């Protein structure tokens, strides 16, 4: 059974940083797409960043470009989301997702096979 476990969330002031981690169990990070999503109260879930383990290509939502960095550590079988210069609008539940296959889904598609339970990020002004 595949499980994705996120950690690293918390409460920070605007301008602060957090690093989220996602550790899959029963699943190895090879030839798959790993994504980070977030959902704020009353809003739809949106994709924040993704990385394809096959070649390391990445994608970032416009509002996080230059501030967030997604990375893989294959030795630790872990996906990270480094979040710097956090803003109150970054507040939300952050989810890790995984999809096996030769490529990532189209931008805007949330067709990932596996999802974590989420970790809360709260940014105060």
* Other beta carbons within 10 Å of 115: 18
- 88-123 pLDDT tens trace: 999 999 999 999 888 898 888 889 999 999 999 999
Query: Considering only CA atoms, which of 64, 92, 78, 71 is closest in space to residue 23?
Result: 78
Give tens-digit pLDDT for 40-60.
999 999 999 999 988 789 999
């Amino acid at each position: 059974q595949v499980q994705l476990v996120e950690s690293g969330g918390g409460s920070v002031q605007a301008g602060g940083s957090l690093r989220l981690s996602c550790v899959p169990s029963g699943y190895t990070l090879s030839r798959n797409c790993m994504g980070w999503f977030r959902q704020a109260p009353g809003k739809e879930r949106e994709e924040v960043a993704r990385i394809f383990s096959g070649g390391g290509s990445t994608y970032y939502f416009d509002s996080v470009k230059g501030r967030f960095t997604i990375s893989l550590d294959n030795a630790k079988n872990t996906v990270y989301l480094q979040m710097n210069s956090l803003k109150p609008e970054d507040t939300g539940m952050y989810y890790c997702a995984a999809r096996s296959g030769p490529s990532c889904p189209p931008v805007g598609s949330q067709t990932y096979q596996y999802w974590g339970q989420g970790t809360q990020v709260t940014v105060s002004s």
